[in-house]
């Protein structure tokens, strides 16, 4: 019996350690470019637009590029970043995470509940279809 308990605990702890933690927010907060695909000019623009947006609406948009999903579901990664980083106003829940993993040709837009009326799943899907997926096809 002790052997079975030890085996189960070992299996559970290995499973917990297998998934990498959510990346920490960078000093700039609005852009984490682990995949190194965002130019400094675009990064500056993202930061500037976000600073204005946060002042006017308290909403925040975070852009994250990763080298790999490490086989984690994109929904889990996006929601983890949204929650762990505290994207958007806490009471308004108006944060948005744009997650891109270029090497895997994957993307996800995770929206806080406060923005779901303005950005329902259908609209975020169209944004990905129209603006993100074409770049994957071009290897850009």
Q: Which CATH class is domain 28-137?
A: alpha beta
Q: What is the pTM of this model?
A: 0.81
**How many other C-beta atoms can be found within 10 angstroms of the C-beta atom of residue 108?**
22
pLDDT band at 138 (very low <50, low <70, confident <90, very high): confident
Q: What is the pLDDT of residues 13-25, one digit of tens each?
A: 444 444 568 999 9
Q: What is the pLDDT of residues 63-91, one digit of tens each?
A: 999 999 999 999 999 999 999 999 999 99
Q: Is 80 exceeded by the pLDDT of residue 10?
A: no
Alpha-carbon distance values, 70 to 22, 65, 66, 111, 125 (Å): 11, 13, 10, 22, 23
pLDDT at 78: 96
Domain locations in the chain as residue ranges: 28-137
Give 20-44 as a DSSP string: PPPPPPPTTSSEEETT--S-HHHHH
């Amino acid at each position: 019996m002790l052997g079975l308990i030890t085996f189960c605990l070992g299996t559970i702890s290995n499973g917990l350690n297998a998934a990498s933690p959510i990346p920490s927010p960078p000093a700039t907060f609005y852009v984490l470019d682990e995949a190194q695909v965002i130019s400094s000019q675009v990064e500056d623009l993202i930061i500037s637009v976000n600073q204005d947006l946060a002042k006017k609406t308290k909403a925040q948009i975070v852009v994250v590029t990763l080298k790999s999903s490490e086989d984690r579901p994109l929904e889990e990664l996006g929601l983890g970043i949204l929650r762990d980083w505290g994207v958007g106003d806490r009471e308004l829940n108006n944060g948005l995470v744009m997650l891109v993993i270029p090497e895997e040709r994957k993307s996800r837009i995770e929206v806080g509940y406060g923005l779901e009326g303005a950005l329902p799943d259908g609209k975020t899907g169209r944004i990905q279809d129209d603006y993100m997926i074409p770049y994957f096809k071009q290897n850009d």
